[in-house]
Chain A
């Protein structure tokens, strides 16, 4: 046996990545009941250690163990804590030697590599508390939408997007996606991440921060935060 020992375990409650050195250990834990699959961690990660899982499916079947919305690569993770700082739902925790590291004690926050993120805490319908630090606009392209798959509405934590219910008569085509309440949007990016056809595009317009930051680390991170999945024009 050789150190470090790297492991990734999956249970119904959490996804757990652990690196055990000879004298100390580092852990990254995703709480699956808090995670909505917005993909902020995947976008922000400097090492591309987090990738997008089957998000629509993970919302539709939350009890199935092997469907997780975010997937970690334990061999790439460096435990910098960027994902923990940026996660709007505080679903991620970082542990050192079995003890949880507070947000203010994470090295990149303590040494002012990342500026202070000025967030408002917001309570959503299902008693979920969100850190909102950005603003965004939702754009729907009618030609691409499959009309009725409902992935975006299933995933959206704030109730901004709703899908119009199918009419009584089966022969009438169901309506498109609707932006019901634009002010409720928490700019997490879950809808953009879940849309299978690229019909729904989110644009992050504003990120609220203050204080000092490192020129090398923060501007590229901000750019990565703003490049959402479908704004990259991948695919079609």
Chain B
């Protein structure tokens, strides 16, 4: 089982929310729970900067689909594979 890590360039991120809205896993959680918080979201905007959230305990995490990378207007997101896990 691979774990994907979203790396965000904090200098160029404007906090526009495009990644949060486009993420399919976020969308599914939003439809089921009608809210997004630190417990169910994969990526969220905090203090004007997008923050990826990884939680070992929950079943849903980043799946490496690359939609957020494509949608980011500032090209500030990068997907990396965490190795040795």
| Residues on A facing B (Cβ under 8 Å) | 51-61, 66-67, 71, 144, 146, 149-151, 194, 196-197, 234-236
Contacts and interface: CB of A to CB of B under 8 A. Distances in A.
Q: Pick from A146, A151, A197 the residue with the most CB of B within 10 Å.
A: A146
Interface in B37-76: 59-60, 63-67, 69-70
B60 A151 contact: no
Interface residues of B, number: 20
Contacts of B79: 54, 57, 67
Q: Pick from A52, A149, A197 the residue with the most CB of B within 10 Å.
A: A149
Interface in B1-55: 1-2, 4, 22, 24-25, 27-28
Given A66-B80, A234-B59, A236-B59, A53 B25 contact: no
A118 to B, nearest CB: 33
Interface of B: 1-2, 4, 22, 24-25, 27-28, 59-60, 63-67, 69-70, 79-81
A57 B79 CA distance: 8
A149 B71 CA distance: 10
The 7 residue pairs across chains A and B that have the minimum distance between CB atoms? A54-B64, A57-B66, A146-B24, A56-B65, A196-B63, A149-B24, A196-B65
Q: Secondary structure at chain B's binding surface: helix, strand, loop or mixed?
A: mixed
A153 to B, nearest CB: 12
Contacts of A150: 67
A52 B25 contact: no
Contacts of B64: 53-57
Contacts of A54: 2, 4, 63-66, 79, 81
B77 to A, nearest CB: 10
A144 B65 contact: no
Given A51-B2, A52-B2, A151 B67 contact: yes
Q: Pick from B28, B59, B80 the residue with the most CB of A within 10 Å.
A: B28
A66 B2 CA distance: 14
28 contacts: A54-B2, A54-B64, A54-B65, A54-B81, A56-B63, A56-B65, A56-B66, A57-B64, A57-B66, A57-B79, A58-B66, A59-B66, A60-B70, A61-B66, A61-B69, A71-B2, A146-B24, A146-B25, A146-B27, A146-B28, A149-B22, A149-B24, A149-B65, A151-B66, A151-B67, A196-B25, A234-B59, A235-B59
